[in-house]
Amino acid sequence: MESYFERAKKKFEDLKNKKDITVLGIESSCDETSVSVVKNGTMLLSNIISSQIDIHKRFGGVVPEVASRNHVMAIENVFNEAIKTAEIDIKDIDAIAVTYGAGLIGALLVGVNFAKALAYNLNIPLIAVSHIEGHISANYITYPNLKPPFVCLLVSGGHTALLEVTDYMEHKLLGTTIDDSVGEAFDKVARILGLEYPGGPNVDKFARLGKGEIEFVKHDILKGTLNFSFSGIKTAVINYVHNLEQKGESVDVPEVCASFQNFVVKELTEKAMIACKQTGQNKLVVAGGVSANSFLKEKLKEVCAENNIELFMPELKLCTDNAAMIASAGYYYILKGKGLAGLDLTGSATVTL
């Protein structure tokens, strides 16, 4: 008798020739449980996100075990809501796309196992999606006419990199962080300033009220390369705050936020422009949670206009973790004949860039 995987493989190959492809995406890599239905990679039919932010706030960060348990409790309702909102019959789904990594292993396994059960039950292909390809694909939903090639500035909680996206689901690494990711630096700076988790949006908010005139570190680190380093500025901010506290002096939170953010945004925008010049690409696509940063958006608009580069940034709700970007990526994996997974699929804490 033909196995599930043999049947799924045939269906996966046939899907490429189907006119309309409906993919159900599942995302559970960190503290968002999300299920979404996307048609043809760009058409959003539903995108339900159940956030655990309020649960993790009191711990000052995501507690992995707590995240896994909450995914287990939320996922079925989120799935039902995604089907209902999309106004489709469960039989209309052509494939299940799920984030297999990178992320918290226990959290990932909840999504992966739910996806496996669904794919087996519906007798349809299961597609293992890299969370990074997902973040990039969020842009295909916001800009249905966007096509590779382009340069991607990836700025998430887990990764910071410059990539040359040569085709759907294909890229070359141009540069990456040699230490912390930019999101991590935002979150750590927020924490030392006593701002609530998740720190990034709070630093963004307070920075609006500061001038940004403190020079924590020089800008010439890693000059001439497309690599980034954010641990130096993070440590400099921590030392600055500790020093003031030891002297019993107060910390100007908006000024620290603005100065930190100025540095980070300058690094990101300058290196993104160099990457576009070096590769000869005239499109810059931003991906990952930090693309929600208002100052980054403002500065990128400015420098892209100066350099004749077309800028693409996901709409706000698609910047941070969501399953729509995973469903979109799933569609392009199908077209490229990549990512088909069996029932032995498991989660992976890391993925190669």
25 binds ligand KG4 (CB under 6 A): no
157 binds ligand KG4 (CB under 6 A): yes
In the complex with ligand KG4, the residue whose CB is nearer, 78 or 124, is: 78
In the complex with ligand KG4, the residue whose CB is nearer, 212 or 288, is: 288
In the complex with ligand KG4, the residue whose CB is nearer, 141 or 340, is: 141
Distance CA 254, CA 207 (A): 5
Nearest alpha-carbon partner for 317 in 127, 30, 46: 46
330 binds ligand KG4 (CB under 6 A): no
Given the rule CB under 5 A, which residues bind Zn ion? 156, 321
164 binds ligand KG4 (CB under 6 A): no
Contact track, ligand KG4, 26-55, x by CB under 6 A? ----x-------------------------
In the complex with Zn ion, the residue whose CB is nearer, 187 or 321, is: 321
In the complex with ligand KG4, the residue whose CB is nearer, 286 or 304, is: 286
Distance CA 214, CA 263 (A): 10
How far lies 294's CA from each of 170, 205, 338, in Å?
29, 9, 35
Q: How many CA atoms lie within 13 A of 254 on its CB side?
A: 6
269 binds ligand KG4 (CB under 6 A): no
How many other CB atoms sit within 10 Å of the CB of residue 350?
Answer: 11
User: Which ranges constitute the DSSP H helices of the chain?
Assistant: 4-15, 53-57, 64-86, 105-122, 131-142, 182-192, 199-207, 231-246, 253-279, 294-306, 324-336
Distance CA 290, CA 183 (A): 6
DSSP 57-75: HTTTS--HHHHHHHHHHHH
How far lies 192's CA from each of 55, 215, 261, 265, 298, in Å?
20, 18, 15, 20, 26
Distance CA 197, CA 292 (A): 15
- When CB distances to Zn ion are compared, the closest residue is 321
In the complex with Zn ion, the residue whose CB is nearer, 33 or 156, is: 156
Distance CA 85, CA 37 (A): 9
In the complex with ligand KG4, the residue whose CB is nearer, 67 or 124, is: 67
Smallest separation, CB 131 to Zn ion (Å): 6
* Size of interface with ligand KG4, in residues (CB under 6 A): 21
Smallest separation, CB 282 to ligand KG4 (Å): 25
Smallest separation, CB 107 to ligand KG4 (Å): 12
In the complex with Zn ion, the residue whose CB is nearer, 124 or 319, is: 319
Smallest separation, CB 4 to ligand KG4 (Å): 30
Q: For residues 24, 313, 68 and 61, what is the CA-based torsion angle, rounded to 10 degrees?
A: -170
In the complex with ligand KG4, the residue whose CB is nearer, 131 or 283, is: 131
Distance CA 19, CA 319 (A): 29
Distance CA 292, CA 11 (A): 37
| Choice from 320, 323, 326, 332 touching ligand KG4 (CB under 6 A) | 320
Smallest separation, CB 149 to Zn ion (Å): 23
Q: With CB cut-offs between 5 and 8 Å by kind, which of ligand KG4, Zn ion, none does residue 328 bind?
A: none
Contact track, ligand KG4, 191-230, x by CB under 6 A? -------xxxx--x--------------------------
Distance CA 144, CA 137 (A): 10
Token pair belonging to 121: 């039950």
Stretch 286-315 residues interacting with ligand KG4 (CB under 6 A): 288-290, 292-293
Token pair belonging to 275: 């990457």
133 binds ligand KG4 (CB under 6 A): no
Residue ranges in contact with ligand KG4 by CB under 6 A: 30, 131, 135, 156-158, 183, 186-187, 198-201, 204, 288-290, 292-293, 320-321
